[in-house]
Structures are given as structure tokens and as C-alpha cells.
Amino acid sequence: MLLIGLTGSISTGKSTVSKILSKDHALPIIDADQLAREVVEVGTPGHTSIVRYFSESTPGLLNEDGTLNRAVLGRRVFGDDPERRKDRGVLNGIVHPLVRKEMYKAIAYHYLSGAWAVVLDIPLLFESSFDLICGAVLVVSVSSPEVQLGRLLARDAHLTREDAEKRVASQMSIQEKVERCDRVFGGARGRGAAISNDGSVEELRKGVTSAVEGLKAGRDGWWKWMLWGLPPVAGVVGARVLAENWWRRECWLKERERVEAKL
């Protein structure tokens, strides 16, 4: 089963692409944002840990029904200053291992149900190194920061422009994500595609379809059934993909360091 990592920057269109992949291409989606909500519901260990660390120093952290006030927590953790970075690190340290566990469970479920591929919709795909287990990566990009911010503000009316800018600044830049996708997964390897979302949703749909057709070629036939029927073979193929992704990432990081040192 092919693991397709889907990422981008905030509000560049990952969920829109997910919907297209699910509706037009019948691909199962594992949504990290959704799992990150489920693992902090009231009564979960995630909720308890967040309340223990943040509640005293964060007025209004909890709504009346005990659920997290996500806008308040967002203001506490998003931004580029050291305090926010530290708090974001703490929140990530609580939520990410729980999400990771749920992701592996969902991957196992889709493997057993015989899907040829599953999409891992993860905003922090590269930051969390989850890309290393992916057989292919799609990055949804928007080239104008104004368009990106405009879409974010239109969708999340409760955010101020400053909130929105802080959220954008809390992630790796979209240019870096596109470059990493191209250098580690793309080129002759044919396992990476940057999908531009500068135009209409219909144009986006065309870009998605062309990327999926490229990935599907040769992967939805006897090969899929062999990997499904022989788990040890699937294990060897998976280990090879992991090693190759790691090696290509290391080469790219070293090359980038050399270029930066020359500047």
C-alpha cells in the first residue's frame, strides 16, 4: 500500500485537496488535524496533560463544558518569539505522540482492507519527519502570501490578521516544503509533486488528477495484491523506502548547508 503524504502551509488547500482525493479518486484519508482534536477531547490523557501544563497561566483555556478553547490555546502557542516556541514545543510534545499512535492504527486498518494507497493529510509532515515513511509526497502551495492569508481569514472569521500571520510564521515556509518535496521525492524518482493552488478549485482539481494518475501508474495491479498477501515483502519494500527517503533527505540537507555556508 502506498502512503501518500499530503502537506502544505496553513490554508494553502490541503483539506480541499483531501476532499478531491476522497471524492474523485476514492482514496482513504487520514486527517492529522482531525485526530489532533480527538486525542484532546474531555476525559482523554491528552486533555488532562494540556490542562495540567497550561490552565494556571492561560485564562479562558477551558470552555464552560470543559472542552479546550482552541482560539485561546492558539494565541498561547502560535508565533515566532521564544516563549511561544517553547509553549508550542510543550503542546506538540503532548499531542504528537498521541496522534502518531492513532495514525499507525489507521494505516494498519487501511492496509488490511486492501487499499492501493492511503493519504496522510499532515500539516507538519516534514517538521515531524513523517515524510520518511511515505512512498510519495504531495505539497499544496500558494505563491502569494496575501491570497493565503485572505483565504485563512475568510475561513476562520474568529482570527485577527495578527493571529493569522503568527500561524503562518509557526511553520516551515511553503517554499522550503516545495523544494524538499522536489529534491527528496521528485525528479526522476517520480514520487513527489507540488500542486499549485493559485487559481480556481477546478484548476486545482486538474492538478490533483494529474498527480494521482502519475502515482497510480503500475501500483494498482498485481503488485498491490502481492504486497497485501505477503506482509514480509511489504515490510522489505517499506524499509527500502524509509532508507532511501532518509538518505536523500540527508544529502539535500548537507547540500543546503554547503550552499548557505558559501553565501
Ligand X SMILES: CC(C)(COP(=O)(O)OP(=O)(O)OC[C@H]1O[C@@H](n2cnc3c(N)ncnc32)[C@H](O)[C@@H]1O)[C@@H](O)C(=O)NCCC(=O)NCCS
**Are residues 189 and 181 in contact, defined by beta-carbon separation less than 8 angstroms?**
no
Q: What are phi and psi of 203, to 5 degrees?
A: -65, -40
If contact means CB under 5 to 8 A according to the sort of partner, which of ligand X, ligand ATP, none does residue 99 touch?
A: ligand X
d(CA 11, CA 155): 9
Q: Whole-number minimum distance, CB 70 to ligand X, in Å?
A: 4
Residue from 3, 11, 103, 126 in contact with ligand ATP (CB under 6 A)? 11
- Taking the least distance from each CB to ligand ATP, the nearer of 37 and 219 is 37
Q: What are phi and psi of 10, to 5 degrees?
A: -60, 130
Facing residues of 138 across strands? 6, 193
Number of residues that bind ligand ATP (CB under 6 A): 16
Q: Does 58 contact ligand ATP by CB under 6 A?
A: no
Per-residue binding string, ligand ATP, 196-235, x by CB under 6 A, is -x--xx--x-------------------------------
Facing residues of 6 across strands? 121, 138
Per-residue binding string, ligand ATP, 112-151, x by CB under 6 A, is -----------x---------------------------x
| Residue 185, CA atoms < 13 Å, CB-side half-sphere | 27
Q: What are phi and psi of 157, to 5 degrees?
A: -65, -20
- Taking the least distance from each CB to ligand X, the nearer of 158 and 262 is 158
**Are residues 212 and 118 in contact, defined by beta-carbon separation less than 8 angstroms?**
no
The set of cell numbers assigned to 220 is 494498482
Cβ neighbours of residue 257 closer than 8 Å, sequence gap 6 or more: none
If contact means CB under 5 to 8 A according to the sort of partner, which of ligand ATP, ligand X, none does residue 15 touch?
A: ligand ATP
Q: CA–CA distance from 87 to each of 65, 70, 250 (Å)?
A: 24, 14, 28
Closest residue to ligand X: CB criterion: 123
Cβ neighbours of residue 214 closer than 8 Å, sequence gap 6 or more: 190, 193
- Taking the least distance from each CB to ligand ATP, the nearer of 14 and 47 is 14
Site stretch for ligand ATP (CB under 6 A), options 14-22, 47-55, 234-242, 254-262: 14-22
Chain contacts with ligand X (rule: CB under 6 A): 10, 32-33, 36, 70-71, 73-74, 77, 88, 91-92, 95, 99, 123-124, 167, 170-171
Q: Does 7 contact ligand ATP by CB under 6 A?
A: no
